[in-house]
Structure formats: C-alpha cells, structure tokens
Amino acid sequence: MNTVYIDFTDLGDTEDFYQQLKEKLPLPETFGDNLNALYDSITGFVELPLHLEFVNMSVDQLEDFEDLLATLEDADEELEDFSFAYYLEQYEDDEE
C-alpha cells in the first residue's frame, strides 16, 4: 500500500494544502482545488491502495480543515483500498 504523508507544520490555508497534495499525488492537470475534485480524484483517479496521513495538525487546523477531514473520512468509509488518518502535533512539556 502506498502511504502519502501531508505535514501540516507549515500549512497556513487550503491553498497550501492543495499545493502539497499536488506534489505528492499524481492528480489530473484539470484538478480543481476543492473538496469535490479531491473526492472525485480519490474515488476514481488516484491509484489504490492508498493510505493518506496528515501529521502535525494543530487544534486550530482541525477546525479550519474540518470539511476536508470529513470528506476524506467519507472516502475512507466508501473505499476498501483507501484509508485516512490524522495526528495532532506533539508538544514537549517544558515543566519539570
């Protein structure tokens, strides 16, 4: 299974997300930077099996990208050969 990681450490907005996604997945040239195009690409264009993983998401990004997460969770439920996960950034505890 191919695993693609999207690092949210320096992502500011959806434009940054789609740019990173295009660098990591072979999306069609006509890909529109929107959720419908993303869903259509995953369910009908991208080679499966595929595991998509978001790492280092902040709590604010969870809210900002809520619709994106829901779209990918829908694709995860619909497709047997697609899986999706996300992980929050880890903070080291400086207090001792």
Local mean pLDDT, 10-residue blocks, the chain (96 residues): 94 95 93 96 94 96 96 97 94 54
Give residue 4's pLDDT: 97
> How far, in Å, CA of 94 to CA of 33, rounded?
39
Burial of 59 by CB count in 10 Å (0-12 exposed, 13-18 middle, 19+ buried)? exposed
Segment holding 7, helix H or strand E: strand 2-7
Are the C-beta atoms of residues 11 and 61 closer than 8 Å to each other?
yes
Tens of pLDDT, residue by residue over 44-70, are 999 999 999 999 999 999 999 999 999
Instruction: Tell me the fold of 2-88.
Output: Barnase; Chain D (3.30.370)
- Residue 82's DSSP bridge partners are 50
- For the chain, the domains span 2-88
Give residue 96's pLDDT: 47
Q: Could you tell me the pTM of the whole model? A: 0.87
Spatial CB neighbours of 5, under 8 Å, sequence gap ≥ 6? 24, 53, 54, 55
